Amino acid sequence: MVLKLYGAPMSTCTSRVLTCLHEKNLDFELVPVDLFAGEHKQPPFLAKNPFGQIPALEEDDLTLFESRAITSYLAEKFKGTGYDLIRHENLKEAASVKVWTEVESHRYNPAIAPIVFQFMVAPLRGNSPDQTIIDDNVEKLGKVLDIYEAKLSSTKYLAGDFYSLADLHHLPYTYYLMKTPAASVVNERPHVKAWWEDISSRPAFKKVAEGMNFVKK
């Protein structure tokens, strides 16, 4: 069995999977996909993901895409290896992990992604950040983080007093957000800020963050 991850280290979705792989202490091969050359839109990669988005994971005859589906697969298949990201021995805790992974996907990500896109991606395409889009989504994200602030005042992490896939899924986009003026939306909420400082200091993510070079420090 050889795990092959096709992607780019600077990609949020690739780094989400990379963090999971490191938390699980799994051996894998990272196969670079050159986004700037458009390799993700060429037939060889489209055979792995017809939507033309990275990453994709291959394991023997299995091919998966969508980063959250990949992390869930890895966390479940290798639940006895590395760190337990899904609390597989406690049904109630496992259910809480699933709730907050859904929150990240459906509440958090739709608000944070446009902010990061405007600050990070738009300039690479020769465009200036659209401040209206940024302001609108900072407001949306703030409302989500108000709920996070309340939750994190009673538990150390989102699903409970344990780090899980629910927290991990937030790492890549928040990492980039914290390099922008919109970082204040996190910093002005003390429990959210403490949570972010905690989860972003984990060795698995620190290793991945070394390759997240959208913007040079």
Could you tell me the domains of the chain? 3-78 (3.40.30.10), 91-208 (1.20.1050.10)
pTM for the whole thing?
0.95
% of the chain surpassing 90 pLDDT: 94
Query: What does the pLDDT look like over 165-174, one tens digit per residue?
Result: 999 999 999 9
C-alpha 104/C-alpha 119 separation (Å) is: 20
Q: Mapping DSSP to helix (H, G, I), strand (E, B) and coil, where does residue 59 land?
A: strand
Query: What does the pLDDT look like over 45-100, one tens digit per residue?
Result: 999 999 999 999 999 999 999 999 999 999 999 999 999 999 999 999 999 999 99
Question: How distant, in Å, are the alpha carbons of 69, 90, 96, 144, 160 from that of 93?
Answer: 19, 5, 5, 22, 7
Tokens of 120: 């990070």
Query: What does the pLDDT look like over 131-159, one tens digit per residue?
Result: 999 999 999 999 999 999 999 999 999 99
The string of DSSP letters for 72-123 reads HHHHHHTTTSSS-SS-TT-HHHHHHHHHHHHHIIIIIHHHHHHHHIIIIIHH
pLDDT given at position 125: 86
Res. 16: pLDDT tops 50 = yes
pLDDT given at position 216: 37
pLDDT given at position 217: 34
